[in-house]
Structure 1
Amino acid sequence: MSECRFDGQVAIVTGAGNGLGRAYARLLAARGARVLVNDLGGDMHGAGASRGPAARTAQEIVAAGGIAEANFDSVATGPGGKSIVKQAMDTWGQVDIVINNAGAVVARGPIDENTDDDFCTDLMVAAGGTFFVTKAVWRHMWDRNYGRIVNVSSSAFLGMNSSAGYPAAKGATWGLTRNLAYRATSQDKDIKVNCVMPTAAARMTKLMGDAISHGMERYYPPESAAAPVGYLAHRDVAVSGEMFATGGDIMRRVFVAVTPGYDAGEGRLTPELVRENFGTVFGEANSTLVLNAYDKVALDRRVDWQAGLGSVF
């Protein structure tokens, strides 16, 4: 079995000063990549800034025989995203891999206690950071016809007893992943964009209480979620637009499916019929996996959806 190597390639890893980002950066560097280690150095709630975390991870990589530079820009603004990519380009002349890992939990408590500013900050760090860094590097990858982007989402967007901002941001990250992957695939570009929802011990997991935090430290160290990202960032990755649950040395596929549903016939569907047939709507048997918007609308064959391929779809 040949080793997954990244010799001659350049990777940007955001939020790489601690936890998962640090594990991703160290794995890529250990396998030959030159790594730009980005971290603003704020706390897990997005407050403050320090050059310490990014510098420390970069120093660890260099001490282990790898090549790395530290970057201290915020991912949460357009200028910050451009500056991150510019440093990598100025230093090494190319960017092959981007791991959009940076995130913060700013808003806390139920939605009616979340401030507008805190909600927006949650969105701008995770979803905005993914957008700004990817936007800054996209044309470079497009013109070179090569790129590997791994966006870091979270199972929080599936629903949990948390604030509203962080799950919303992580859900948006998957939507952006699907959009970018579809656009690149539709133009036959060798740019693969995938997403992970890791479970790993990190600063944020201490908010879950001692019992969960201790269990995660034992079974879900950040390094146990790094290998899947290494594969998704590799030249050999076989898919794009996919989501994977990672952590604990386990990798699982996460996907969207549409049920066969209930068809009342044209012009006949009423709220009462929906109520009476909701079990059929809700049943999971014979569901269809959908990878994009076209797959979903094409389930109804009454419209010539193919006419929109290459434009709408």
Structure 2
Amino acid sequence: MNFTGKTAVVTGAGRGLGFSYAQVLATLGTNVVISDIGADKLGAGGDGSIAMEAAQTLRDKGFNVVGHHGDLSSEQGCEQLVATAIHTFDQLDILIHNAGWVGYQAIEEADTTFIGRAVDINIYTPLWLCKHAWKHLKQSAAPRVVLTSSDRAMYQQYARPGLVAYVVNAVSPVAKTRMWGVTGEPENLKPEWVTPGVVFLASQHCQDSGYVLRASNGQFTATRFVENPGVDYPVNLARVKATSAEQVAQLWDQIKEH
């Protein structure tokens, strides 16, 4: 794969996964902005040397890489990161949001600081990054945005105490209400035709968790990620093996099979 001339921003790239992403992209010809606040294992504090030293390591190998140290939990911080990419490389083609934070706290002990930190970096940050990157990405011939999720969020069996938000049930309703701009009684997609599913989820008869109940027009389907047989999580997903981006591309039809 040839990424020559493209520019990528990678958040949380001073160490771990983010650094690996940045390093491979750089070897493929990408100009890379390594962004990292340098927080500790609890997500607190900041060390500006983390991003700068990571960038220097790759520059020493001859790659076009710059470091960025900043707090991405605010819109201003995200705007400043995008501005760094544009100022340095005059374009932006790829945004990889790898930075994240997760803490373990019982729901009955949840406090504003804990929730705020999780919401800022995991929800607001990708939105602010995309907002300020969008006008530049639209000028790219092949713009790409890659966000990050978690198996613990997708697979109920991997949930852990303190991460209860990952395992509650949810409803995805479709009904003609004021949000549709509908007044009066609709002929179809009636709100009351969604209600039986929600009442069931709220009842003692519902013994499952981690489901999203799709409800529309009196029809229901409950979905959640189901693990493949033979999985030894996380070391063996019992699925398609690939050792390079080229192999992933070649095997993509198999990888995306349900």
- Shorter-chain TM-score range: 0.5 to 0.7
Q: CA deviation at 1:252?
A: 4.4
Structure 1 equivalent of residue 117 of structure 2: 121
Structure 2 equivalent of residue 35 of structure 1: 32
Which of 1, 8, 12 lines up with 2:9 in the alignment? 12
SS at 1:73 equivalent:
coil
Pairing of 1:1-313 with structure 2 (within 5 A) = 4-106=1-103, 108-144=104-140, 146-158=142-154, 159=156, 160-164=159-163, 167=166, 227=244, 252-253=255-256
Q: Point out 4+ residue stretches in structure 1 off by more than 3 angstroms.
A: 143-146, 164-168, 224-232, 251-255
> 1:86–1:121: structure 2 CA closer, same or farther, 3 Å change rule?
same
Deviations 1:1-55 (A, max 9, x none): xxx1210111100000111001000010011101000001111322000012211
**Residue identity (%):** 26
Q: CA deviation at 1:135?
A: 1.2
Deviations 1:120-156 (A, max 9, x none): 2112112222111111101222244541111111112
SS at 1:152 equivalent:
coil
Equivalent pair of 1:154/1:167 in contact (CA under 8 Å): no
SS at 2:14 equivalent:
coil
Q: CA deviation at 1:62?
A: 0.9
> 1:64–1:55: structure 2 CA closer, same or farther, 3 Å change rule?
same
Q: CA deviation at 1:109?
A: 2.8
> 1:136–1:47: structure 2 CA closer, same or farther, 3 Å change rule?
same
CA-atom RMSD in angstroms: 3.3
> 1:130–1:44: structure 2 CA closer, same or farther, 3 Å change rule?
farther
Q: CA deviation at 1:116?
A: 2.5
User: Which whole-Å CA distance do the structure 2 matches of 1:109 and 1:254 have between them?
Assistant: 35
Equivalent pair of 1:35/1:69 in contact (CA under 8 Å): yes
Q: What amino acid does structure 2 have at the position aligned with 1:50?
A: D
> 1:132–1:61: structure 2 CA closer, same or farther, 3 Å change rule?
same
Equivalent pair of 1:16/1:22 in contact (CA under 8 Å): yes
Q: What amino acid does structure 1 have at the position aligned with 2:147?
A: N
Equivalent pair of 2:11/2:36 in contact (CA under 8 Å): yes
User: Which whole-Å CA distance do the structure 2 matches of 1:229 and 1:110 have between them?
Assistant: 43
The higher radius of gyration belongs to 2
Deviations 1:259-307 (A, max 9, x none): xxxxxxxxxxxxxxxxxxxxxxxxxxxxxxxxxxxxxxxxxxxxxxxxx
Structure having the larger proportion of residues in helix = 1
SS at 1:43 equivalent:
coil
Structure 1 equivalent of residue 174 of structure 2: none
> 1:230–1:252: structure 2 CA closer, same or farther, 3 Å change rule?
closer
> 1:46–1:112: structure 2 CA closer, same or farther, 3 Å change rule?
same
Q: CA deviation at 1:117?
A: 2.0
> 1:61–1:155: structure 2 CA closer, same or farther, 3 Å change rule?
same
Flag structure 2 segments of 5+ consecutive residues without an equivalent: 168-232
Equivalent pair of 1:21/1:101 in contact (CA under 8 Å): yes
Equivalent pair of 2:94/2:137 in contact (CA under 8 Å): no
User: Which whole-Å CA distance do the structure 2 matches of 1:29 and 1:74 have between them?
Assistant: 24
SS at 1:138 equivalent:
helix
Q: CA deviation at 1:165?
A: 8.3
User: Which whole-Å CA distance do the structure 2 matches of 1:165 and 1:48 have between them?
Assistant: 26
